[in-house]
Amino acid sequence: MDNRALIRAFRLMAQLLELHDENPFKVRAYEGAAAAVDRLDFPLADLAPAEFTTTGGLGKSAAQAAQALLTTGTFPELARLQEATPPGVVEMLDIKGIGPKKIRALWRELGLESVDALREAAEQNRISGLKGFGAKTQDAILAALEFTAQSRGKVLINQGQALGRQLVELLQNGLRTEQVAVAGEVRRGLPVVETVRVVVGTNQPWQAHEILGGIEGLAADELTSGPFAWRGTATQSGVKIDVQLSKPEDFAGCLFLQTGSEAHLTAPLPAKAPAPTLRRLVKSTRFFTEQAIYETAGLQYVEPEMREGQGEIEEAAAGKLPTLLTDADLRGSLHNHSTYSDGAHSLRQMAEFLRDNGYQYLGICDHSRAAHYAGGLSIERVREQHREIEQLNKALGPFRIFKGIESDILADGSLDYPDEVLAEFDFVVASVHSGLKMDQERATERLLRAIQNPYCTMLGHPTGRLLLRREGYPIDYEAVIDACAEHGVAIEINANPWRLDIDWHWVRRCLEKGVRMSINPDAHHTDGYADMRYGVLQGRKGGLTAAMTLNALPLDELAEYFRQRREKAVKFGSPAPARKPVDYGPLFG
């Protein structure tokens, strides 16, 4: 059992304790245990049980529970609560927006013991009359259930990639061929994947069927499968699996057809092309490389991420496709957290990890004081951190840590901290973390006011979305992007696979308006830096180049960029407060 499984078990334990109205101190203890394991930079299982309380940071009861989890997969108290809770009620704990206390009321007072029963009760207006609920809560439950239903059978890009890699490895080893590749949504780098598609070049399709049929965790769909296609689902996530089996000599063509979107494959080709569409071209001619397909069509090579039918065919025909950003172009990582707020690693650990992996700088952006739930920094802690950064920069040079902050965008659109404190940072990432239940007008106005603040260097995760968990608040993208262009504010592509925010569809608009992008992992752990690759994928889908990527700048150029922006901000100061504060609803969304 790895750390993530331990964290899930401790969080479930805390939820079940709260659901059964047990000791609130025990609830907080298990929440603390989950947080303690989350902060570890090594597997808890690597420690001796006696070290769980010292090195591992667990309390005595949590340490005993961890030992049992690592040995048996559960522990007595968790097993007792699971036995006392209908499985459907446990499933209800995963619904965003309703916590264990509300679920207890729904279960005990209305007798609801499944998600289906909950939906039916909400549709019949039986929840709104329950004490502590009301019509708004009932509507929120229905919306959450609908979102959960829409998310079923889908996985994030990192999960899709991992599943794709496993299938490729199993098929390569089993068939003893290198002609196995991931295609479709995963190869194009879509943020959410509904089908993991793999292409195999083989003269033994029946053997591929045998291999796939023997993989634990896959369920075949006999009705849609055939001699040259294996189709089914991954049982744990419900995501669809589609494996296309071609002759070895047709592998390149099959991979091409299974990669591009329908819009890409059917877009009209230039008049001089030997076929009207790429699909018709590949169907009529055998190709041994994808490069040869585009060359024959009279097009520049289109990278897989861009094969979405978003105008890339016209650009390729005109020779105007950009040279896309690559992982190797990134010189550093901006928007990261340390133990000063809610990160798992110290400043030195975060910096040394980047330095040792060939990067030139780290932008540390711990949470501002309004985010007290995430250990937001008081003004005194800000200055303490800045003193440590100055010491580390002397010790680690020429590597540099930039003094950043993830400043909350407050309800009225102002930035957390007064001007004199904001002026002490090298750069400021402005993000919304509270009051997420906004309509488009309110959300847009809140962002616009933050963007107008001269201390705002970059807009963080603009919609606050968590893919497959919650929808983001609606914004007027064009107005926000245009404001960033006017005020010289960069926009992050938050590379955490749960966010990937700003969405790739809007990258083109940013580039057209001259808005720089920043590939930000929002790392709370040294492992989080690896997420930058997902941000790069999203940037590439929108045509992002190194020249328009803030953290592709060399250290000296980025330092000068920050210096000039800060000097200008100090000169002009923040805008005056809004005359009438806007009510953005509940503080925490």
Please report, for residues 75, 256, 545, the alpha-carbon distance to residue 309 in angstroms, rounded to integers and kept in the order given: 52, 14, 19
Q: Are residues 412 and 389 in the same domain?
A: yes
Last residue of a domain, one of 129, 151, 173: 151
Residue 46's contacts (CB-CB under 8 Å, 6 or more residues apart) are none
Angle at alpha carbon of residue 515, lines to 509 and 517, rounded to 5°: 95
Is pLDDT at 589 greater than 60 in this prediction? Answer: no
Q: Are residues 338 and 226 in the same domain?
A: no
Residue 524 resides in a domain: yes
- Over residues 116-127, the mean pLDDT reads 89
CA quadruple 53, 57, 58, 59: dihedral positive or negative? positive
Q: Look up the pTM and report it.
A: 0.84
Q: What percent of the chain has pLDDT over 70?
A: 97
Q: Are residues 139 and 264 in the same domain?
A: no
- Over residues 364-390, the mean pLDDT reads 96
Query: According to the model, what pLDDT value does residue 575 have?
Result: 59
Residue 45 resides in a domain: yes
Residue 391 resides in a domain: yes
Domain CATH number, residue 33: 1.10.150.110
Q: Are residues 37 and 181 in the same domain?
A: no
Residue 578 resides in a domain: no
Last residue of a domain, one of 106, 122, 151: 151
Query: According to the model, what pLDDT value does residue 585 have?
Result: 39
Q: Are residues 426 and 540 in the same domain?
A: yes
Q: What average pLDDT does the chain have?
A: 93
Residue 233 resides in a domain: yes
Last residue of a domain, one of 197, 221, 248: 248
pLDDT, tens digit (0-9, with 9 covering 90-100), for 475-527: 999 999 999 999 999 999 999 999 999 999 999 999 999 999 999 999 999 99
Q: Are residues 221 and 277 in the same domain?
A: no
pLDDT, tens digit (0-9, with 9 covering 90-100), for 220-236: 999 999 999 999 999 98
d(CA 485, CA 495): 22
Most confident of 8-22, 28-42, 567-581: 8-22
Query: According to the model, what pLDDT value does residue 147 have?
Result: 81
pLDDT, tens digit (0-9, with 9 covering 90-100), for 37-64: 988 878 999 999 999 999 989 999 999 9
At 582, is the pLDDT very low, low, confident or very high (cuts 50, 70, 90)?
Answer: very low
**What residue numbers bound the domain in which 345 lies?**
334-572
Helix (H) or strand (E) holding 241: strand 240-246
Domain CATH number, residue 296: 3.30.210
Higher pLDDT, 552 or 38: 552
Residue 587 resides in a domain: no
Residue 577 resides in a domain: no
Residue 172: name the closest of 94, 106, 243, 70 by CA. Answer: 243
Q: Are residues 186 and 208 in the same domain?
A: yes
At 123, is the pLDDT very low, low, confident or very high (cuts 50, 70, 90)?
Answer: confident
At 576, is the pLDDT very low, low, confident or very high (cuts 50, 70, 90)?
Answer: low
Helix (H) or strand (E) holding 201: strand 195-201
Query: According to the model, what pLDDT value does residue 581 have?
Result: 41
Please state the domain count of the chain. Answer: 4
Query: According to the model, what pLDDT value does residue 584 have?
Result: 35
pLDDT, tens digit (0-9, with 9 covering 90-100), for 182-194: 999 999 999 999 9
pLDDT, tens digit (0-9, with 9 covering 90-100), for 332-373: 999 999 999 999 899 999 999 999 999 999 999 999 999 998
Q: Are residues 372 and 521 in the same domain?
A: yes
d(CA 199, CA 260): 13
Is pLDDT at 583 greater than 50 in this prediction? Answer: no
Q: Are residues 296 and 349 in the same domain?
A: no
Is pLDDT at 145 greater than 90 in this prediction? Answer: no
Query: According to the model, what pLDDT value does residue 578 have?
Result: 46
Query: According to the model, what pLDDT value does residue 150 have?
Result: 79
- Over residues 120-138, the mean pLDDT reads 88
- Over residues 245-256, the mean pLDDT reads 98
Q: Are residues 455 and 511 in the same domain?
A: yes
At 201, is the pLDDT very low, low, confident or very high (cuts 50, 70, 90)?
Answer: very high
Q: Are residues 416 and 532 in the same domain?
A: yes
Domain CATH number, residue 489: 3.20.20.140
Query: According to the model, what pLDDT value does residue 151 have?
Result: 82
Domain CATH number, residue 191: 3.30.460.10
Residue 556 resides in a domain: yes
Q: Are residues 98 and 13 in the same domain?
A: yes
